[in-house]
Structure 1
Amino acid sequence: MTVHDPRLHAFRADLADLRLKGEVEAERFVAGTLARIVVPVADMRRQPKLESGIDTQLLFGDAVRVFDQSDGWAWVQAERDDYVGYVAAEAIGSAGQEPTHIVSAPRTFVYPGPDLRFPRRSVLSMGSTLAIAGQVETRGTSYAVLLSGEAVIASHLRPIAEHAGDYVTVAESLLATPYLWGGMSGFGVDCSGIVQLAMRMTGRDVLRDSDMQAAGLGEALDPGPDHSGLQRGDLVFWKGHVAIMTDRENMIHASGHTMLVSREGLKDAIARIGYLYGGPTGFRRP
């Protein structure tokens, strides 16, 4: 049988994705059912229990394929990046109408109607996708109205087909966002999460984990012994970590050292990280 990464292929001893039939062993194969995430952020775990760590997160509107639901958990695969894991069953809803807009601000409030004085109902992260029914202006502020009648500040959204031009600028808009292992939202991100989220906003879907990004995102790069060949947007990898260069000498990353999305000089980071984990393991240009 072909060896598959279980993070990217849905298979268990008892059940597997029908698309893997003949490639993996399982008692039963199913096609799965398309659905969407209906909560602001859904934690995806390796095992169906709260004690299992967060591997990644799915955002409101994300499409998923559901293979199994039991005991309050759904076993799913994200359509955007193929990541497989368990999310709370309550996070899953009907596939519904195709989203028309994406949240482009780091975070935005959802109001019960088009008025910022109304008490907020929820908060959505950058990268969340919504189906918008219309637009209303209240006291000079434009609101995008959802199918539910709820409303979001219109300037915090853009049409889903319109993309940011520079993923580094998107990452910089998340400065001071808290570090969260497995985080993939404007409420908390990890090192590879900010790379994936920022690139999502430019219309580019990339794999989730830093080892996956180090293996195949863009082209491998040799910046020279003094790293003078680096430029804005290049990626620097360490064992289990990735950072984004903002220019030839400085970088931005979700740092476990500051527990924030932070700026840091590359030389300083190499010296600091090297103490525990050694030097950079690779460089790539997306």
Structure 2
Amino acid sequence: MTVILDRRLHAFRPDLADEALRGKFDAERFTRGEPARISVPVAPLRPAPDLARGIDTELLFGEAVRVFDRADGFAWVQADQDGYVGYLPETMLGEPQEATHRICVPRTFLYPEAELRKPPMGALSMGSRVRVTGEAETRGTRYFLLGDGGAVIARHCLPLGETLGEDYVSVAQTFIETPYLWGGRSGFGIDCSGLVQLAMMMVGKSAPRDSDMQAEFGVAIEREELRRGDLVFWKGHVGMMEDAETLLHANGHTMSVARENLNAAIERIGWLYERPTGYRRPL
């Protein structure tokens, strides 16, 4: 029997599908997939194995995935964090590795050694997972040494299992003026629902990835009840309330994460996307 499945959250094709979908989808064969992890700072995830296609979302360094297929330089994967399915270049994958810490600032540099005067090897986003194998100090600055090689500023890392408190709005505020990027989910570029998801993840809350999924998250409330942390939805867009009157959101108007008065935002957005479709309070 074949049922309607969301291709963003279920791995299925006529020739191959996730073993968990056996009996729900007719495929030629099924697989449980094999574990891997993201080995680049940011890995764009696409709906097809084609670099010309727009991205659905991004996976961050160290995040775990299951690999269902590898062909023509692409891997078909599902993210452990939120279950998102898509394609990425196979070169962006590495062997599974148990992380010990997460990056807890919007962006941080990865240095070749414990020395900030050295040219950085790259940069990592908030939410990236790293394995710390040692420590070092240079001129009073403490570094973590990583199992993959390189070093990061120690205070930019948080042990796995610890959070940035309970206020996800304060986490989202650290992304103010971060560039807007459709499908973005990192400190280098982020979209409206990516901001909500990443901020909540850093305080230990699990949120769906896309705004239509988040529109079913938590409980419905009335506009008059809005307070800090509540979510406001339009068709294809979501924003987070900083207080009862101020909206914080990644948006294509300013092309950044910005704050604006909610009433002004409703009027500005209304000509193209109509009025808000709902208001919700995450549990």
State the TM bucket, normalised to the shorter chain: over 0.9
Alpha-carbon distance, 1:89 to partner: 0.5
- In structure 2, C-alpha distance between the alignment counterparts of 1:189 and 1:106, rounded to whole Å: 11
Matches within 5 A, 1:59-70: 59-70=60-71
Alignment gaps of 5+ in structure 2: none
Residue equivalent to 1:255: 251
Tell me whether 1:186 sits opposite 2:200 in the alignment. Answer: no
Tell me whether 1:148 sits opposite 2:144 in the alignment. Answer: no
Residue equivalent to 1:116: 116
- In structure 2, C-alpha distance between the alignment counterparts of 1:144 and 1:62, rounded to whole Å: 19
- In structure 2, C-alpha distance between the alignment counterparts of 1:80 and 1:127, rounded to whole Å: 11
Residue equivalent to 1:88: 89
For 2:195, what is the secondary structure of its paired residue? Answer: helix
Tell me whether 1:127 sits opposite 2:127 in the alignment. Answer: yes
- In structure 1, C-alpha distance between the alignment counterparts of 2:254 and 2:23, rounded to whole Å: 47
Matches within 5 A, 1:1-286: 1-96=2-97, 98-165=98-165, 166-215=167-216, 217-223=217-223, 227=224, 229-286=225-282
> Percent sequence identity over matched residues?
58
Alpha-carbon distance, 1:222 to partner: 1.6
Alpha-carbon distance, 1:205 to partner: 2.1
CA displacement 1:104-129 (0-9 Å, x = unmatched): 11100111111101110010000001
Q: How high is the TM-score relative to the length of structure 2?
A: 0.97
2:244 partner amino acid: R
For 1:54, what is the secondary structure of its paired residue? Answer: coil
CA displacement 1:178-209 (0-9 Å, x = unmatched): 00000000000010010011111011221110
For 1:206, what is the secondary structure of its paired residue? Answer: coil
Alpha-carbon distance, 1:2 to partner: 2.4
- In structure 1, C-alpha distance between the alignment counterparts of 2:206 and 2:143, rounded to whole Å: 28
1:193 partner amino acid: G
- In structure 2, C-alpha distance between the alignment counterparts of 1:26 and 1:62, rounded to whole Å: 28
Alignment gaps of 5+ in structure 1: none
- In structure 1, C-alpha distance between the alignment counterparts of 2:27 and 2:272, rounded to whole Å: 41
- In structure 2, C-alpha distance between the alignment counterparts of 1:47 and 1:183, rounded to whole Å: 17
CA displacement 1:64-87 (0-9 Å, x = unmatched): 000001111000000110000001
CA displacement 1:107-157 (0-9 Å, x = unmatched): 001111111011100100000010101211110000011113411000111
2:122 partner amino acid: S
2:12 partner amino acid: F
CA displacement 1:160-183 (0-9 Å, x = unmatched): 111012110010000000000000
Q: How high is the TM-score relative to the length of structure 1?
A: 0.96
For 2:269, what is the secondary structure of its paired residue? Answer: helix
Cα RMSD, aligned residues only: 0.8
For 2:250, what is the secondary structure of its paired residue? Answer: strand
Query: Aligned pair count?
Result: 280
Alpha-carbon distance, 1:35 to partner: 0.5
